[in-house]
Amino acid sequence: MSMKDAYQKKLQSKLEQSRLEIGQLKAKADEAEADAQLEYYKQIEELRVKQERANQKLEELRQASDDAWEDIKAGADNAWDSISKALTSAASRFK
């Protein structure tokens, strides 16, 4: 397995985990009081936007040549860091 393939699998796994976590946050938001729900749904939508950006980077990575994928990797790492921080922040607010 090439480094590119290994990185793709790792990023795909992280994105799948983030989908699960967003689903859990949505379930908590659905049970929250009306005032809190609006804020929670806003945060969830922001998470989904960030997740979509990361999915786009993953697709760029898949289509990149073996020589060019390292350049795209930095953008994918940044997208993942953004999701990770936002998930951590949202999870602490949902408690």
The number of angstroms, rounded, from the C-alpha of 74 to the middle of its chain's C-alpha atoms is 15
Q: Which two tokens stand for residue 35?
A: 């005032």
User: Is 19 a residue whose pLDDT tops 90?
Assistant: yes
| Per-residue model confidence as pLDDT tens digits over 28-79 | 999 988 888 888 999 999 999 999 999 998 899 889 888 888 888 888 898 8
User: Is 22 a residue whose pLDDT tops 80?
Assistant: yes
Query: pTM for the complete prediction?
Result: 0.83
Query: Is residue 94 very low, low, confident or very high in pLDDT (cuts 50, 70, 90)?
Result: confident
Q: What is the pLDDT of residue 65?
A: 86
What would the 3-class secondary structure string for the chain be? CCHHHHHHHHHHHHHHHHHHHHHHHHHHHHHCCHHHHHHHHHHHHHHHHHHHHHHHHHHHHHHCCCCCHHHHHHHHHHHHHHHHHHHHHHHHHCC
Q: What is the pLDDT of residue 93?
A: 83
